[in-house]
A and B are shown apart, each in its own frame.
Chain A
């Protein structure tokens, strides 16, 4: 029961020299199968190395042997916490390759479901992050809210987690009866629930003490490493693809992009809480008038995009999720390369962990918000 520890100690006197501590791959707090090697000097982390690949399933290679529609369910399994976003990115990328667009009704419903998925992803992040830091209660409240969202997904497409909600060209399923009421009711309840989580954590001395000043990264370092998403926004840079390069129906709605100045764990927490509120705002605006019309554009049963390449990215809950698809004119793509936000963001771990205490490493891993399915693909 040693959680996969192996230690190499240079002397027998404790704490005097550098020790290499191995954390994982089986560990309750690494959010998946992540192995972290820490070089410690006493209590402080001098250097660290993340060893990944334990969940590599060869998704990108599989894509070369599947047709475009057949590959669509595979993308859900990458970031399995926010499957709907993955599907949105992929479908829009292929639509770009084909030169078509989804009809307006499909775009709006896609936006609603993606924003609900963003809330669900951030809720899971909040619950597990708080649990790592020792707050045992928020995780249950967050999962209670997440249940409501997953119920909406289940009623819509039959699945809770790996939804395959979107199709290339639009949607397959019409929204069910009561979809608007469900979304409105959720958004209405959620307003108070977010405030509940804030009262538990935001002003709590212990929470502030554990997260302020921990895992600081500057905006320059973020840009140099390619880090995007809430991590970048919490370091001060106001960059969100929903505003910078709008996709789906985001240009029709009003919402804010929260940023914070310092780039520590506390700021990332505030940014994600605020993002949940903004997502709720988008959902309410979108669900007010969903345009009528067809849900699936004219794309044909057999997809043979013209030869070419496309890179399309969206603002997934964890950062910029990009798809680089190369087509050689056949029904199967020549190459699908996924730019997973968790993989790129994980590079920030080394910078953040330098100089941190061992007890903070768990908080830092949690605050980057990684999903190993995405990191390893």
Chain B
């Protein structure tokens, strides 16, 4: 129980901290690395909620696929533009005021609902074997949307290959 809470706060802190670091870095590769750690921390929270399939898929797809793509593009295109730019523009005071207003609204909402904020035990809601349950759902009940989604992905892949091939 206590371990559960400690781990949750650890992952949450990691996620929020990495997110803040990500948006404040000048070096874009550093930003990408902090995005990776945010996604990994989120995956940890998924695992805590006993959604192990989502945990693994987050790692394989988001961190191992999408972020690799981001990092490749950054490295190939050599974006060091941000290093030379001025990071804050003239509307910074207005933006700060708006951010404070938004923070106050969110804080108020959390304060009002504070009684309902506790770490619930997810075990009764989650099916014991995630992967099988998802597999059953995808291949039996939601077969058609699944096939449409895969055709969409196939079209995107073919389009990308065709466009890249023409340039070579």
By beta carbon, the residue of chain B nearest A15 is: B76
A14 vs B77: C-alpha distance in the bound complex, in angstroms?
8
Contacts of B50-88 to chain A: CB distance below 8 A: 76-78
Contacts of B83-109 to chain A: CB distance below 8 A: none
Residues of B within 8 A of A12 (CB): 78
A12 vs B77: C-alpha distance in the bound complex, in angstroms?
8
Question: How many chain A residues touch B (Cβ–Cβ < 8 Å)?
Answer: 3
A149 vs B95: C-alpha distance in the bound complex, in angstroms?
83
A118 vs B76: C-alpha distance in the bound complex, in angstroms?
49
A266 vs B77: C-alpha distance in the bound complex, in angstroms?
39
A13 vs B73: C-alpha distance in the bound complex, in angstroms?
12
Q: Digit string of A10-25 for contact with B (CB within 8 Å is 1, else 0)?
A: 0011100000000000
By beta carbon, the residue of chain A nearest B167 is: A16
A373 vs B76: C-alpha distance in the bound complex, in angstroms?
42
- How many Å from the CB of B28 to the closest CB on chain A? 15
Question: How many chain B residues touch A (Cβ–Cβ < 8 Å)?
Answer: 3
Residues of A within 8 A of B77 (CB): 13
By beta carbon, the residue of chain B nearest A14 is: B76
- How many Å from the CB of B159 to the closest CB on chain A? 22
Contacts of B149-164 to chain A: CB distance below 8 A: none
Residues of A within 8 A of B78 (CB): 12-14
- How many Å from the CB of A242 to the closest CB on chain B? 48
Residues of B within 8 A of A13 (CB): 77-78
Contacts of A1-43 to chain B: CB distance below 8 A: 12-14
- How many Å from the CB of A183 to the closest CB on chain B? 56
- How many Å from the CB of A7 to the closest CB on chain B? 15
By beta carbon, the residue of chain A nearest B80 is: A12
A13 vs B76: C-alpha distance in the bound complex, in angstroms?
7
A12 vs B76: C-alpha distance in the bound complex, in angstroms?
10
- How many Å from the CB of B78 to the closest CB on chain A? 6
Residues of A within 8 A of B76 (CB): 14
A14 vs B76: C-alpha distance in the bound complex, in angstroms?
7
A13 vs B77: C-alpha distance in the bound complex, in angstroms?
6
A283 vs B89: C-alpha distance in the bound complex, in angstroms?
85
By beta carbon, the residue of chain B nearest A16 is: B167
A12 vs B78: C-alpha distance in the bound complex, in angstroms?
8
- How many Å from the CB of A354 to the closest CB on chain B? 19
A14 vs B73: C-alpha distance in the bound complex, in angstroms?
12
Residues of B within 8 A of A14 (CB): 76, 78
Q: Digit string of A123-163 for contact with B (CB within 8 Å is 1, else 0)?
A: 00000000000000000000000000000000000000000
Contacts of A233-280 to chain B: CB distance below 8 A: none
- How many Å from the CB of A182 to the closest CB on chain B? 58
By beta carbon, the residue of chain A nearest B76 is: A14
A62 vs B77: C-alpha distance in the bound complex, in angstroms?
56
- How many Å from the CB of B165 to the closest CB on chain A? 14
A14 vs B72: C-alpha distance in the bound complex, in angstroms?
13
A14 vs B78: C-alpha distance in the bound complex, in angstroms?
9
By beta carbon, the residue of chain B nearest A12 is: B78
A95 vs B160: C-alpha distance in the bound complex, in angstroms?
72
A237 vs B143: C-alpha distance in the bound complex, in angstroms?
67
By beta carbon, the residue of chain A nearest B168 is: A42
- How many Å from the CB of B143 to the closest CB on chain A? 42
- How many Å from the CB of A90 to the closest CB on chain B? 53
A104 vs B77: C-alpha distance in the bound complex, in angstroms?
72
- How many Å from the CB of B79 to the closest CB on chain A? 10
- How many Å from the CB of B83 to the closest CB on chain A? 14
A14 vs B79: C-alpha distance in the bound complex, in angstroms?
12
A12 vs B75: C-alpha distance in the bound complex, in angstroms?
12
A112 vs B129: C-alpha distance in the bound complex, in angstroms?
78
- How many Å from the CB of B164 to the closest CB on chain A? 13
A13 vs B78: C-alpha distance in the bound complex, in angstroms?
7
Contacts of B2-27 to chain A: CB distance below 8 A: none
- How many Å from the CB of B148 to the closest CB on chain A? 37
- How many Å from the CB of B22 to the closest CB on chain A? 25
Q: Digit string of A201-226 for contact with B (CB within 8 Å is 1, else 0)?
A: 00000000000000000000000000
- How many Å from the CB of A26 to the closest CB on chain B? 28
- How many Å from the CB of A252 to the closest CB on chain B? 59
- How many Å from the CB of A40 to the closest CB on chain B? 15
A375 vs B140: C-alpha distance in the bound complex, in angstroms?
74
- Could you name 5 residue pairs across A and B whose Cβ atoms are closer than 8 Å? A12-B78, A13-B77, A13-B78, A14-B76, A14-B78
- Report, nearest first, the 4 A-B pairs whose CB atoms are least far apart: A12-B78, A14-B76, A13-B77, A13-B78
